[in-house]
Structure 1
Amino acid sequence: MPLFWRVFLMNAAVLIAATALLLLGPVTVSTPVLLTEAAVLAVGLAVLLVANAALLRFGLAPLSRLARTMATIDLLRPGPRPSAKGHGEIAELVRAFNSMLDRLEAERAASTGRALSAQEAERRRVAQELHDEVGQTLTAVLLELKGVADRAPGPVREELRQVQETTRTGLDEIRRIARRLRPGVLEELGLVSALKALAGEFSGPVLTVRHRLDPKLPSLDREAELVLYRVAQESLTNTVRHARARHADIELRRVATGVLLAVRDDGRGTGGAPEGAGIRGMRERALLIGAALAIGPGPDGGTEVCLTVPVPQGSP
C-alpha cells in the first residue's frame, strides 16, 4: 500500500475511534475541562503522534538509505546496490534508482571503451609517424653528419661529433617515446616479456624496478593484456614523478579469481592527495574489462596498486 494511504488510514482509524468514544462512550468534555478529560485527550493525542512517527520512521527509512547512497555513489568505484526494501512507491523508487545506475554504468563503459580504443589508435598512429618520419629523418641527418665530419678539419670534426651525439640522443628519445605509445613487444612477445621490458625501461640511477612474473598465466584476450600493461606503465610513471622512491616491484601471478598485477614502491605514498587523471584513467580501463583496481599504502609503506583481472573458470 502506498505511504500516503497508510498514513491517511491510520489517522482516520485513530480519529474514528476517538469520535466513537466521544459519541457512544461515557467520555465527555466539560466546560471547564476536567483533569481526567484532559488526561484522556492527552493520551489520545500522544497515541496519534507516536503512531504517526513510527509509521513515517519505518516507512521512510529506505529513502534515507537511498539518499546516502546517492550522495556517495561513484561510477568509477561500483559498489553494492541499495536493497529494494519497503512498500509501494518507495520500493519502486529504489528499483528505479538501481536500474538508472545499471544504465549509467553500461553507457559509461561503452563510451569509455570507444574513447580508449580511439586513444590507442591515435597512439599507434603517432608512434608510427615518429618512427617512420622523424626517426628516419634523424637517421639521415646522422649519416650526413658522419660524412661531413669525416671530411672536416680537426676542430670542426670534433664539434660535428658532438652534434652527432646530441642527434643520436634525440633519436633514442624519440624511439623510447614511440615504444611507450605503441608497445610493440606486447603484440609480438606477449605480456610477460612486455612487463620485463617496461621494468628495464624505468630502471635507472634513481629508481630500481624489480619484477616477479609468473609465466604460467591463464589465457587473456588482447584487451585485458593491454589494460594490465597500461596500468603497470601508469603506476611506474606515477612512481617516477611523485613517489621519490628508490625501489619498485612489479608482480604478476595467477590467483583464485583470475590474474593479479601488483605494483609497489617504497616512496612517500599518496598522502591523501586527490586522484589525478592518471588514476582515473586506470579505473576506467579496469571497469572496461570488469577488473577490480585497488590503490593504497603498501605493506611496507609507499604505494601499492593492485589490479585483479577475472578469467573464466576452467581457462588454461
Structure 2
Amino acid sequence: MPLSLRSRDLRDALVALVVFLVTAVWTLVVAHYRPEPAGRAAVGWALILIGCGALVPRRRQPVAVAVVTLLACAVYYPLSAQDGPLLIAFAVALYTTAAEGRFAAAVALAAVALLAAGLGEVRQQPGHRQIDDTSLAMMAGWLISLVAVGRAQRDRAAYLREVERRALAAEREQEARARQSATEERLRIARELHDILGHSVSLINVQSGAALHRLGKKPPAAQGLATAEEALRAVRDTSKEALRELRATLGVLRRADEPAPTAPASGLALLPELLARAAGTGLEVRTRVEGTPVPLPPPLDLAAYRIVQESLTNVTRHAEARSVLVALDWGGDALRLCVEDDGRGAAGEPPGSGIRGMAERARAFGGELTARAVPGGFRVDARLPLPPPAPGSATAPTPAPTPPPEGDPA
C-alpha cells in the first residue's frame, strides 16, 4: 500500500478515536449523575462504538459511513438517557461525503437527519420536547454549513490539483522548448562549420594539389614554379579566411566574460572575395546582377552568402566544371540566387548534407531552394524573401556591395 494511503488511513483512525474519546468521556460524566439500566447502557455503548468505528473507512465509503452514523444516532438518542455527543460522528461523516464529491448524497442525508429530528419532536407530548424550534433551526444551519464547507474543500482541492497540473505542464513545455532551442542552435553551428570548413578545405585541397603537380615535374619549369607559388598564396589566404570565419562562428560558444568578436560577419559584401578564391582554382567565374541591391538583415545576409559559398564548394569538389555562373536577382519582394555550372552534375544521386543545409537556411527565412541537374551541368536556385522596408524611413538605404557585372572575371 502506498505511503500516502497508509497515512490517510491513520489520520482517519485518529479522528475516529478522538470522536470516541469525547463521546465516551461525556457519557461517563453524565452517567455518574443520571444512571440508567445496565441493558440500555450496554446498547448505548455499542451504538457509540459502531458510530465512531465507522469513521475509519469514511474516505473509501463516504456515503455508507454517513448512513451508518445517521442510523446509530437515530437509535441512540431516543434510547439513551446520557445524550452523548454521538452526533459529532454523523457531522464528520456528512462533511466527508461532501468533500469526497458526493454532494447530492450529502444534501439528501442532511435533509433526512433534519426531517427525522423534526418528526421526532412533533411526536413528543407537549412539554416534553428536547429540541425547541430555535435549536432545530440552528441544527439545520449547522448541517447546511457542514455540506457547504465540504463542497468548498472539494473545489479547493480540485483547484490546487489543476494549478499543480498546469504548473507541471508549463515546466515540461519550457524544458521542451529549451531542448528544441538547444537542438536548433547545435544544427545552426553544425551548418556554419560545414559551410566554412567544407568550402575552405576544398579550395585548399585543389590549390595544394595544383602546387604539388607543378613542383613534381623534373626539373620544375620557371612557369611551373610561378604557378605553384601562386597556388600556395591562395592556400595561405584561404586558410586565413577560414580561421577568421571559424573564430567568428565559435564566438557564440564563448563565455559571457569574453570580449565579443570584432571581425566583420560574412555576408554578400564579401562575395567578390569568395568568387575570387573560387576563380583561383581554375574555374571561369561569371556573375550577373539584376535589380537594385538593398541592405539585408545580418542573419539573412549570412544565409545568402552561405548558399553561394556551399554551391561553389560543391562545384569545386564534385562537378569537375570549367565555368560557373553566379546570378543575383534583386526583386521587389525577394532575392533570387542562382549558381549554375557546366560540370557533370549529380543526376540520380541523393542530396548531401550541404544541399540539405542550404535548403534549411532558405526555409528558415520563409524561402525555398532547389538543386537539380540541368542539360550541360548542375543548377542551384534559391529564393529568399526580403523584409518589408521600415515604415517612416526618410532616406533610401545604402546599397550593399555586389559582385562585378556579367562578363567580368571575378
Q: Compute the TM-score of the two structures, normalised by the length of structure 2.
A: 0.35
- Tell me the TM-score normalised to structure 1 length: 0.45
Which has the greater radius of gyration? 2
